[in-house]
Amino acid sequence: MDQRDDLTDEATYDRVRLGRRTFLRLATLTTASIPLSAPLWTATADEAPGPIVKPLPEDKFIVHGTNAETRWEALAGVGDLVPADRFFVRNHTLTPSLSADTWRLRLSGSGLRGAPTAGNPVEFTYQDLLDLPAETVTARIECAGNGRGFFTSQQGQTVSGTPWRLGAVGVARWRGVPLSTVLERAGLRRAAVDVLPQGLDPDYVTGGVNLGPVRRPLPIRKALKDVLVAYEMNGEPLPPDHGFPVRLVVPDWIGIASIKWLGRIEVSDTPLVSPWNTQFYRFFGPDYPSDGELLGPQNTKSAFELPWNGTLAAGRTHHLHGRSWSGTGGIRKVDVSTDDGHSWHRAIPHGNGSGWQRWSLPWRPTAPGTYTLRARAVDRTGAAQPGIAPFNTQGYLFGAVVGHPVTVSAGR
Ligand SMILES: Nc1nc2c(c(=O)[nH]1)N[C@H]1C(S)=C(S)[C@@H](COP(=O)(O)O)O[C@H]1N2
Ligand SMILES: [Mo]
């Protein structure tokens, strides 16, 4: 899908869903309304760079407009950590070109001592961050819309947004400074309730409305618990597409919480809102209140490290590899079915479950034909994958068991 279609879909959809009253209320929260006459950038084949800087080879990525998802077969034989050359990218607009030398993190707001203003903020340079005590964590980042395409292809429902399969998720080793350290150094007051991290990428324009910079409130509880102000990914400086020079990493929360190209943090003693917690990342639909319901943590999902519609030879033993993960706890067990869900077999776990649980199951198909593979996981809290994902208009948190088609060809 190209970006123009994406914006058009969202625009149409936004008007339908929000209705006029909500639309006006939300519009007043934004800085300006500008008419949308053209896409945000005008890259053509031989012109300016595209929305994503790194190479997107066809064997590793499926491109969706400004976004690119990892092909699951590109994770075959890869350990828990997803290398940056195949880590998915979710860009509302485009990857900005930023310099670590001139970059500043600016903090302001009523939740800091002296209530520094946006015009006279507390500042950190890149070097300031490098000089603070560092921590390293393995964490998964997953888009709330991961699996969205299956609302349509598997459940026949119409939803708005990027029709990801299951590749909008990745695990990496992140190094940086705990957000709690940065907030304490900036003069955090006990009265602070919310922080609002904000990206330095271009403003997000959708449905003819400029929603301003990508930003989403984070309650102070989570901000102080396990959030990292990260400057390294898998032992290297953050790649441009993943937030260089500095991003947030918010473990187990939906991907939008992990703001890339972090430039500002507002710290407030009153609750904060942005379109990213009022208009997006809420469940809307017949089963939800009219002003929606905010998304919780990521749910349980599973995927096979196999090409979609791939081919396997009959009469041979194949080791079906895959991974399962959940935002509410480690994975307790995974069952796999190769016969359309009639029988299930316990998968063999691999690795130490860091970020996600790798697993495999041997399978020796005898007859050529088309097959549907299924994997279903249960996490330590008992959160299992249902047969059908609850419908919501923006297609968030598709956690149902996914049927993965493969063809078994006559062996030699
Ligand atoms: N500034 C900024 N931060 C952002 C985004 C963005 O477009 N701009 N996208 C968010 C979303 S929706 C997701 S899922 C993750 C994706 O992180 P990745 O591109 O490093 O995989 O980044 C989040 N942080
Ligand atoms: Mo996302």
Q: What is the pLDDT of residues 294-334, one digit of tens each?
A: 998 999 999 999 999 999 999 999 999 999 999 999 999 99
The band of 49, judged by pLDDT with boundaries at 50, 70 and 90, is: low
Nearest CA to 72 out of 251, 297, 320, 390 is that of 320
Q: What is the pLDDT of residue 50?
A: 81
| Amino acid residing at 222 | K
Report the atom number in ligand 1 closest to the C-alpha of 201.
1
Residues 6+ apart with CB under 8 A from 181: 132, 133
Give Cα 349 to chain centroid, integer Å. 25
Q: What is the pLDDT of residue 31?
A: 36
Q: What is the pLDDT of residue 412?
A: 61
Chain-wide mean pLDDT for the chain?
Answer: 90
Q: What is the pLDDT of residue 18?
A: 34
Overall average pLDDT of the 10-32 stretch: 33
Determine if ligand 1 sits within 6 Å of the CB of residue 92.
yes
DSSP state letter for 155: T
| Long-range contacts of the stretch 233-240 (C-beta < 8 A, 24+) | 233/84, 233/87, 233/172, 233/173, 233/174, 234/81, 234/83, 234/84, 234/172, 234/173, 235/173, 235/175, 236/84, 237/100, 239/53, 239/54, 239/84, 240/53, 240/54, 240/95, 240/96, 240/97, 240/98
CA of 28 to the centre of ligand 2 (A): 24
**pTM of the entire predicted model:** 0.89
Nearest CA to 145 out of 10, 247, 239 is that of 10
Instruction: Looking at the CA of 61, name the nearest ligand.
Output: 1
DSSP codes of every residue in 78-105: --SSPPGGG--B--SS------TTT-EE
DSSP state letter for 109: S
Q: Whose CA is nearest to atom 21 of ligand 1?
A: 89
Measured from the Cβ of residue 316, the count of other Cβ atoms closer than 10 Å reads 12
Overall average pLDDT of the 221-250 stretch: 98
Contact status, residue 218 vs residue 196, Cβ threshold 8 Å: yes
Q: What is the pLDDT of residue 296?
A: 87
Q: Which domains does the chain have, with CATH numbers?
A: 3-294 (3.90.420.10), 301-409 (2.60.40.650)
pLDDT tens digits along 267-304: 999 999 999 999 999 999 999 999 999 998 999 999 99
Phi then psi for residue 407, to 5 deg, are: -110, 130
Report the atom number in ligand 1 closest to the C-alpha of 255.
14
Task: Look at 14-23, 139-148, 209-218, 323-332 and tell me which has the smallest mean pLDDT.
Answer: 14-23
Q: What is the largest CA-CA distance in the chain?
A: 76
Q: Which residue has the higher pLDDT, 34 or 204?
A: 204
What gap in Å lies between CA 385 and CA 375, rounded to an integer? 9
Determine if ligand 1 sits within 6 Å of the CB of residue 82.
no
- Show the tokens assigned to 178: 């705990």
The band of 9, judged by pLDDT with boundaries at 50, 70 and 90, is: very low
Determine if ligand 1 sits within 6 Å of the CB of residue 214.
yes
Place of tokens 């400004």: 66
Determine if ligand 1 sits within 6 Å of the CB of residue 321.
no
CA of 308 to the centre of ligand 2 (A): 22
Contact status, residue 335 vs residue 382, Cβ threshold 8 Å: no
Residue 132 has pLDDT above 90, yes or no: yes
